[in-house]
Structure 1
Amino acid sequence: MRSKLAGIGLALALAIAPIAKTSAADLTIFHSWSNESEIKALNVFVKALKAKGNTIKELAVPHEQSGAGGPIVSLVIAGTPPNIFLTGNADVYRDIRDRGLGQTVGEYFDKIGATPNFPAAVQEAIKVDGEVRKIPLGIHIDGMVYYNMKIAKAAGVDPTQWKSADDMFADMDKVKAAGYNFIGVGGNTFQAGYLFHALMAAVAGPEVYKKFYNVSDGGKPDPSVFEEKGLRDAIEMFRKITAQADEGWTNRQWNETTNTVISGKTLMQFHGDWMKGQWKANNKVLGEDFNCINWPGTKAVAVTVDAMGILGGAPVSKDQLAAEFDMASIAVDPANNGQFAAYKGSTPVRVDAPEDKLDACNKLVLSNLAKDNSSVLNPFYISDSDWINSIWNTMFTFQGDRNMTTDDVIAMLKGEYESIFN
């Protein structure tokens, strides 16, 4: 198995001006968030940490350049490691840990009484090889349907009545006849990758999903997955969705795609439920302007737990480490976390978060998590970064090439599998 994490974004890391030697409680934070809802949410934590007398320098990299989190490792290699870094990718935490710069946080969460208040899915997602190394920020479902209620009414359709994907697509002609796009589609590898793993959960189901993505330490996915009907079904549904792309889809970011739904051009978008933050940033009201539903007939949902890590080891002073743990405490504080979720569009990571921060979409997320065998973890928590990147590139290639078939996709995935694992 090969790893590209250390190499991804190295040029970017070296291009960043060297960070001056830090003093006590003088911290750097790395993230790849950029839209209004993300920044507003992150600032809930940053402002609270600054209020304690700390100074924070932000290193922000666009999401597409951040990729699998490689620039974080590149900054470590360049001798300019960030004190706080936002990523859920287990490989990043392993790499930093193996360089003697990792920091566990599980014992601290136990001490402050946070651990029992994390849902089971959160407790699992923040572990790396059995150790809690991630600070959970918010819960997301990687594939939910968010739709414009006014367009639905104008087109004479009711998404809450869709029991299957067939029901959903049966209404497509009505929506188009009313003058609207049916499904919003964006144009980069991130969106293609997330759309596909959301469909692997919803359409193929949890068992096929795990065969396709699960990689234990030194292991590889189950190659019998390439013969699974569920894999073919997910690929074919991916094609059916991306075939609805309008003329502006190429290079369009996810939030710009969301804006086509918000502005009344498109009925809906199937993407991560961080879309809600974009709706709220545009002063739209849940239940009046927009609504959320699971993929019709969904078999399982893929779960992302936004997370951050903190630096340990020799480069970190005693005061810096104390400030880093302050950030951990701030992030999982029920009130702070509830406010973060309200801005970000996520669901709080604590079951004791203020009730007034839970809306109907949050309750839908929590109901999904409460069902047995109906949720799976984001691939970055359970898989191999090279395999994930290969899947992203394959599906984005498929999205842009109308001549590719399902058999072509499976053949390409098999080739990538052989290159990575054999």
Structure 2
Amino acid sequence: MVWTRRFGALGLACMLAIPADAAELVVYHNWASPAELTALNVLRQALEARGHSWLPLAIPHDANGDIDVVQLIQAGATPNVFLQLQPDIYRSLDAEGKVLHLDTQFAQSGVLAQFPSVVRDAITVDGVIVKTPVSIHADAMIYYSRAVAEAAGIDPESWTSLADMWADFDAVRAAGFQPIALGAQPWQVGYLTHALVASLGGPGVYAGLYGAVTDPAVLYDASLRDVFAWLRRFQQEADAGASQRDWNMATNMVIHGRALLQVQGDWMKGEWTAAGKTEADDYGCLFVPGAAHLPVTVDSWGLLGAVSPEVEAAERTFADVVVDAEVQARFARAKGSTPVRFDARGAVDACSQKVLAALDQPDFARPTPHLTAPPAWVAAVWDVANAYWNDPAMTPEAAIAALKAAQTAF
């Protein structure tokens, strides 16, 4: 059984009872949609088939902000396995000997040779492999309803820019549909912002804004004004229910023919699959038209160190299970992701084929900010983006000025 516990405050985490059984792993994650939970069950069943048990600890995206594993440990709710991207979290844990190293394990199993470079880079922190990769996702894709596009008499595949896309919205509205299904929860506005920076930013802007150290010069690049101008246009398309809408509820607006499209990570595909829909008949997928870059997420698990030999053995079994080729293929189908192994991709769909092609395109795919930038800076950018989204009177120039002011603290 998968359960979800929502915390109103971090202190409630202390109430969790952590099992003493070495073969029972507490698995911390922030996934909550039906497709995400179905994918997690693929991993759980594979782990249990190896003789270990899985106790889920879930704090969803929308539960008053993400709580990282370091905070959980400090609160006394220590997981064995945790879904975390940020390198700084692993540095902090590694400094205390609290994260397992996986270099030898992955090299001996031969799986390391099956990881593409984007995956190897994502799971390596300061020269050491400290993460177990589970999925590849494109952070910025458009999934659209073929039926709505046909009813409106438009062809999304013909778009070469956001302006082209917007030009078709009058036809969509005239046909009785909403152009964009939007969720405006803070993290969704944050993801849309870095999607627009990647798509519209001038040379070096995305890398400079979301690097390990922010390059102040990018805050003066003219393309940043375009980013905020387009963010405003998205905000103006938001309906009254957007502010509290989960991302998968927005996906279902497109699935059920209420809206033409959604701009989100390609985890959208898992919802389409769960609804029994196919790319051939029901939906199409494309990158942001005219995008300069594509932000890419490699979801990964960390394994707690400084544990008993029995628990460490179970954690390492978890890592082997996650990267198993057959498990990878089943997980990707359920989650809507692209497998992390070359040899688990025999039957990938057309949308994942586009992602794979993007990974091979020079200077196009870039790591998500969560893999490169300090978490505090990502949060600062999100704060500015959300303040801008929620204040229609705020200008792009004011938003950029707020970013400049925030950057001085770093």
Q: Which moved more, 1:51-60 or 1:195-204?
A: 51-60
Q: Is the contact made by 2:80 and 2:304 (CA closer than 8 Å) also made in structure 1? A: yes
Q: Which moved more, 1:152-161 or 1:241-250?
A: 241-250
Q: 1:18 to 1:39 in 2, by over 3 A?
A: closer
- Distance (whole Å) between structure 2 residues aligned to residue 142 and residue 66 of structure 1: 22
- 13, 24, 28: which one aligns with 1:26: 24
How far off is 1:392 after superposition? 1.0
Q: Is the contact made by 2:339 and 2:345 (CA closer than 8 Å) also made in structure 1? A: no
Secondary structure at 1:101 match in 2:
coil
Is residue 120 from structure 1 mapped to residue 117 from structure 2 by the alignment? yes
Counterpart of 1:145 in structure 2 is 142
How far off is 1:21 after superposition? 5.0
Q: Which runs of 4+ in 1 moved over 4 A?
A: none
- Distance (whole Å) between structure 1 residues aligned to residue 161 and residue 148 of structure 2: 20
Counterpart of 1:88 in structure 2 is 85
How far off is 1:253 after superposition? 1.1
Is residue 339 from structure 1 mapped to residue 330 from structure 2 by the alignment? yes
Which residue identity does 2:262 align to in structure 1? Answer: Q
- Distance (whole Å) between structure 2 residues aligned to residue 309 and residue 80 of structure 1: 16
- Distance (whole Å) between structure 2 residues aligned to residue 339 and residue 89 of structure 1: 26
Is residue 318 from structure 1 mapped to residue 309 from structure 2 by the alignment? yes
Matches within 5 A, 1:347-386: 347-356=338-347, 358-386=348-376
Which residue identity does 1:35 align to in structure 2? Answer: S
Q: Which moved more, 1:259-268 or 1:46-55?
A: 46-55
How far off is 1:100 after superposition? 2.1
Counterpart of 2:241 in structure 1 is 248
Secondary structure at 1:250 match in 2:
helix
How far off is 1:242 after superposition? 2.1
Note the residue ranges of structure 2 that are not aligned, 5 or more in a row.
Answer: 1-6
Q: Is the contact made by 2:79 and 2:304 (CA closer than 8 Å) also made in structure 1? A: yes
Q: Deviations over 1:112-135 (max 9, x none)?
A: 111111111111111112211111
How far off is 1:91 after superposition? 2.0
Is residue 195 from structure 1 mapped to residue 195 from structure 2 by the alignment? no
How far off is 1:23 after superposition? 2.6
Q: Which moved more, 1:133-142 or 1:162-171?
A: 162-171
- 288, 291, 311: which one aligns with 1:295: 288
Q: Deviations over 1:296-322 (max 9, x none)?
A: 111110000111110111xx1111111
TM-score by length of 2: 0.95
Which residue identity does 1:33 align to in structure 2? Answer: W
Counterpart of 2:388 in structure 1 is 398
Which residue identity does 2:359 align to in structure 1? Answer: L
Residue-pair matches, total: 404
- Distance (whole Å) between structure 2 residues aligned to residue 23 and residue 159 of structure 1: 53
How far off is 1:99 after superposition? 2.5
Q: Deviations over 1:220-279 (max 9, x none)?
A: 311011111221221212112221112211211111111111111110011100000011
How far off is 1:98 after superposition? 2.1
> Considering only aligned residues, what root-mean-square deviation do their CA atoms show, in Å?
1.6
- Distance (whole Å) between structure 2 residues aligned to residue 28 and residue 192 of structure 1: 31
Q: Is the contact made by 2:14 and 2:77 (CA closer than 8 Å) also made in structure 1? A: no
- Distance (whole Å) between structure 2 residues aligned to residue 297 and residue 15 of structure 1: 44
Is residue 223 from structure 1 mapped to residue 220 from structure 2 by the alignment? no
TM-score by length of 1: 0.92
Counterpart of 2:4 in structure 1 is none
- Distance (whole Å) between structure 1 residues aligned to residue 238 and residue 345 of structure 2: 39
Q: Which moved more, 1:23-32 or 1:199-208?
A: 199-208
- Distance (whole Å) between structure 1 residues aligned to residue 295 and residue 83 of structure 2: 19
Which residue identity does 1:248 align to in structure 2? Answer: G
Percent identical: 40
Q: 1:299 to 1:164 in 2, by over 3 A?
A: same
